Homo-oligomer: A and B are copies of this chain.
Amino acid sequence: DILERPEGLELGGDLREVTIMMSDIRGFTTMSEHLAPAQVVTMLNRYLGAMTDIIMASNGTIDEFIGDAILAVFGAPQHRDDDADRAVRCALAMQAAMADVNRQNAAEGLPELAMGIALNTGTVIAGNIGSERRSKYGFVGHPMNVTSRIEDHCLGGEILISDSTRQQLRGDYTLTNQRDLNVRGIDQSVTTYTIRGRADD
């Protein structure tokens, strides 16, 4: 009964406009080669734990942890009019939280982590992806791939948003460093901006 499923989750797959977030730690793999495995997992889980809490508090849907990367979306299964704004505020809160993550790392003699975050908005296919033996609510579409390519260009501490995300924003934010990125598999270049914070901060 559709009234009993207000979020409109279609198991068979449907189109959703979402703001996609991908974050990772710059140079994490190389850094991990100089540490004991237990230290690497401790450091990784401290970061993932802190970021998971913030993403969930922002009503983001975590799709995956892929090594040190986090893939999340805002807008599925449930659409909200402020999906892009919540994604941006979530990214700003995540960057701010890295100071505390790094204080804990420093206290244990662990290296400082610097995270990049990419945000991109577009229409994707959302659905239960997988097999009878293993499935998950997941996403397919060019906007997913584009987000990953934008993430490749992020510096440590940076949040890069695509122009498609910028167009959805209702709040005022400080944007700098407009760039056009060439993305494999996409004919047109993708315009991105570095987001510094809310304009009233």
Interfacial residues, chain A to chain B (CB-CB below 8 A):
10, 12-15, 28-30, 32-33, 37-38, 40-42, 44-45, 48-49, 52-53, 56, 62, 64-68, 71, 125, 127-136, 138-142, 144-145, 185
Q: In the bound complex, what is the Cα–Cα distance between A180 and B13 (angstroms)? A: 40
The count of identical subunits is: 2
6 residue pairs bridging A and B, Cβ less than 8 Å apart:
A28-B140, A33-B142, A44-B129, A45-B131, A65-B129, A65-B130
- Chain B residue numbers with a CB within 8 Å of A135 are 45
- Interchain CB contact (< 8 A) of A130 among B37, B45, B125: B45
CA distance A52 to B15 in the complex (A): 25
B53 in contact with A133 (CB, 8 Å): yes
Interface residue from B10, B12, B37 paired with A13 (Cβ < 8 Å): B37
Would you give the shortest CB distance from A23 to chain B, in whole angstroms?
14
CB pair B38 A140 closer than 8 Å: no
Whether A48 contacts B141 by the Cβ 8 Å rule is no
Residues of B within 8 A of A56 (CB): 133
The answer to whether A41 and B29 touch across the interface, beta carbons within 8 angstroms, is: no
Known: A41-B125, A45-B128, A67-B145. 15 other contacts (CB 8 A): A13-B38, A13-B40, A13-B41, A32-B141, A33-B141, A40-B125, A48-B129, A48-B130, A49-B130, A49-B131, A62-B134, A64-B64, A65-B134, A66-B71, A67-B138
Q: State the CA gap A64–B37 with chains docked (Å).
A: 21
> A133: which B residues are within 8 A, CB to CB?
49, 52-53, 56
Q: How far is the CB of A102 from chain B (nearest CB, A)?
A: 17
A132 contacts across to B, CB distance below 8 A = 49
